[in-house]
């Protein structure tokens, strides 16, 4: 069942009424007890005062006590102080009582009595009035206290409702501004700490949501562009493959022609496979998080990449050089990403640049100790100066590149460098070919 909801103003009024109720009940109990004790004390003082008059005239008033009928406003009993025998009494006879005040029960009726000594006649004089006299006054006064207590609770609730409106108005206004998606929620200071803190928290949350939404929209736009470019890039080899298959299925070709078409098919299939593999690597790079970053020894990764390159390209001289540095070449990085940079750089130098010598150099710039540079030099044909920026774009091939590439190798290198907070640039190499300079920053991971 859906819980009933109340406004904050109503809750403030209810809280004020509840607090006032507790206070009124506590004070009411104390006041009620005080009233009862005070009324009883007043009654005792009245009895004591009246007893002084009766004691002084006990000898003359005693014979006339029997003339008072039952149901009178008071009862008097005079007893001998030696044997307790009754010398005189009103029709309502009080029991033998000690000197002082006491509450007694006579024939089912409670009385408040006061007993004093009458020395002149050697007797004890007991004077009593019905206990209901004090009780009725007490009950009446307690009713008045309860009435005023209920009024105090009602007044507290009303004041809570009255003053609760201005108190919660900043929260109501803040709610309306949040609903309208107003910017700069925390600029107007309300003077209420909780409201200002809530405004700052809401502004921070809305900013985070806006940034997340912008990032999502950007990611969706990039994904659409990526999918469009990928489809366009794959359409060419797939169309060529379909054409070759149609030629094979329709025409009667000799052995040499069939071999040539099959070679074209294998080349197109290799291009599709290479493109898909590079697309997968690009997607993995874009989905990497800070948890994927690990402490990585760049010297070790470079040595392993050089050993693998020598096995795949036996005729190529691949070497690793490290420049002396006070800090070790160990940073927080994606080990697979560093390896991807090295493998693609070496493959491009050999396959597209025709290099026979590749040298990998690790160094730390003096003016930037948190940066590590990986320099890949080769003695190939190099890259024209006007193409050194565009070759890092996706599906872009340099004029010296072979026809079998996907155009994504250097894009992968640039992506991985960006994930590590760095960048990539091409320069002339002292070996005669191209120099690829990759800057990496020692950081916890991508933001």
Residue 147 has pLDDT above 60, yes or no: yes
pLDDT of residue 133: 73
What's the angle, vertex CA 270, arms to CA 234 and CA 246, rounded to 5? Answer: 70
Report whether 297 contacts 330 (CB < 8 A): yes
Q: Which residues lie below 8 Å from residue 375, measured CB to CB, with a gap of 6+?
A: 360, 361, 363, 435, 436, 437, 438
Q: Quick one: three-class SS letters along 215-269?
A: HHHHHHHHHHHHHHHHHHHHHHHHHHHHHHHHHHHHCCCCHHHHHHHHHHHHHHH
Mean pLDDT of the chain: 77
pLDDT of residue 70: 52
For the stretch 421-440, pLDDT in tens is: 888 898 999 998 889 999 98
Question: Among 102-111, 288-297, 401-410, 427-436, where is mean pLDDT lowest?
Answer: 401-410
* DSSP structural state of residue 95: P
* 1-15, 140-154, 281-295, range with greatest mean pLDDT: 140-154
- Residue 110: pLDDT band (50, 70, 90) is confident
pLDDT of residue 379: 92
Task: Measure the CA–CA gap between 308 and 305, rounded to whole angstroms.
Answer: 5
pLDDT of residue 277: 66
Q: For the residues 340-367, what does the mean pLDDT come to?
A: 87
CA-nearest of 153, 127, 132, 131 to 28 is 153
Using DSSP, state whether 321 is helix, strand or coil: strand
Report whether 156 contacts 20 (CB < 8 A): yes
* 12-21, 264-273, 433-442, range with greatest mean pLDDT: 433-442
Question: Among 76-85, 156-165, 376-385, 431-440, where is mean pLDDT lowest?
Answer: 156-165
Long-range CB contact pairs, 88-91, < 8 A, 24+: 88/62, 88/63, 89/65, 90/65, 90/66, 91/66
Domain annotation for the chain: domains and CATH numbers: 8-154 (3.30.450), 288-441 (3.30.565.10)
For the stretch 241-250, pLDDT in tens is: 788 788 888 8
For the chain, report the end-to-end CA distance as a whole number of angstroms: 45
Residues in the chain: 447
CA-nearest of 79, 44, 43 to 58 is 79
Would strands 75-80 and 123-130 be described as parallel, antiparallel, or unpaired? antiparallel
Task: Measure the CA–CA gap between 437 and 363, rounded to whole angstroms.
Answer: 11
pLDDT of residue 360: 93
Using DSSP, state whether 12 is helix, strand or coil: helix
pLDDT of residue 388: 77
Q: For the residues 190-217, what does the mean pLDDT come to?
A: 73
- Residue 445: pLDDT band (50, 70, 90) is very low
Residue 1 has pLDDT above 70, yes or no: no
pLDDT of residue 319: 92
Question: Among 28-37, 61-70, 143-152, where is mean pLDDT lowest?
Answer: 61-70
Residue 276 has pLDDT above 80, yes or no: no
Task: Measure the CA–CA gap between 176 and 170, rounded to whole angstroms.
Answer: 10
Report whether 123 contacts 81 (CB < 8 A): yes
pLDDT of residue 447: 45
- Phi-psi region at 324: left, alpha or beta (left = phi > 0; alpha = psi -120 to 50): beta
The predicted model scores a pTM of: 0.45
Q: Residue ranges of the alpha helices (H) in 319-420? A: 335-351, 409-419
Quote the percentage of the chain above a pLDDT of 70. 74
CA-nearest of 128, 101, 123 to 56 is 123
CA-nearest of 360, 447, 376 to 410 is 376
Radius of gyration of the chain (CA): 53
């Amino acid at each position: 069942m859906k819980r009933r909801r109340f406004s904050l103003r109503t809750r403030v009024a209810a809280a004020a009424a509840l607090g006032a109720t507790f206070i009124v009940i506590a004070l009411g109990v104390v006041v009620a007890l005080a009233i009862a004790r005070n009324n009883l004390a007043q009654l005792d003082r009245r009895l004591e005062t009246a007893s002084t008059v009766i004691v002084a005239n006990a000898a003359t008033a005693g014979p006339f006590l029997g003339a008072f009928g039952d149901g009178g406003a008071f009862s008097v009993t005079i007893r001998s102080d030696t044997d307790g025998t009754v010398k005189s009494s009103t029709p309502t006879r009080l029991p033998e009582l000690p000197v002082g005040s006491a509450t007694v029960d006579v024939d089912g009726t409670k009385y408040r009595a006061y007993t004093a000594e009458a020395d002149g006649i050697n007797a004890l004089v007991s004077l009593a009035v019905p206990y209901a006299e004090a009780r009725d006054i007490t009950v009446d006064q307690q009713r008045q206290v309860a009435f005023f207590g209920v009024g105090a609770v009602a007044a507290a609730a009303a004041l809570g409702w009255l003053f609760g409106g201005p108190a919660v108005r900043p929260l109501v206004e803040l709610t309306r501004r949040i609903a309208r998606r107003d910017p700069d929620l925390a600029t107007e200071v309300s003077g209420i700490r909780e409201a200002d803190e809530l405004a700052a928290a809401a502004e921070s949350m809305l900013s985070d949501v806006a940034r997340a939404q912008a990032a999502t929209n950007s990611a969706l736009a990039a994904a659409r562009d990526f999918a469009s470019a990928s489809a366009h890039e794959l359409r060419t080899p797939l169309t060529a493959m379909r054409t070759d298959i149609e030629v094979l299925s329709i025409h009667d070709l000799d052995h040499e022609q069939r071999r040539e078409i099959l070679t074209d098919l294998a080349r197109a299939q290799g291009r599709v496979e290479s493109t898909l593999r590079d697309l997968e690597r690009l997607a993995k790079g874009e989905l990497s998080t800070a948890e994927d970053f690990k402490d990585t020894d760049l010297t070790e990764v470079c040595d392993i990449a050089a050993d693998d390159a020598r096995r795949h390209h036996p005729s190529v001289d691949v070497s690793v050089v490290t420049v002396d540095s006070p800090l070790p070449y160990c940073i927080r990085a994606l080990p697979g990403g560093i390896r991807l940079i090295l493998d693609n750089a070496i493959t491009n130098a050999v396959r597209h640049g025709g290099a026979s010598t590749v040298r990998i150099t690790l160094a730390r710039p003096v003016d930037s100790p948190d940066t590590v540079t990986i320099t890949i030099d080769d003695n190939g044909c190099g890259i024209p100066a006007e193409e050194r920026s565009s070759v890092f774009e996706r599906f872009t091939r340099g004029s010296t590149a072979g026809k079998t590439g996907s155009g994504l190798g250097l894009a992968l290198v640039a992506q991985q460098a960006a994930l590590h907070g760095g960048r990539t640039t091409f320069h002339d190499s002292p070996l005669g070919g191209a120099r690829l300079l990759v800057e990496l920053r020692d950081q916890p991971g991508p933001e």
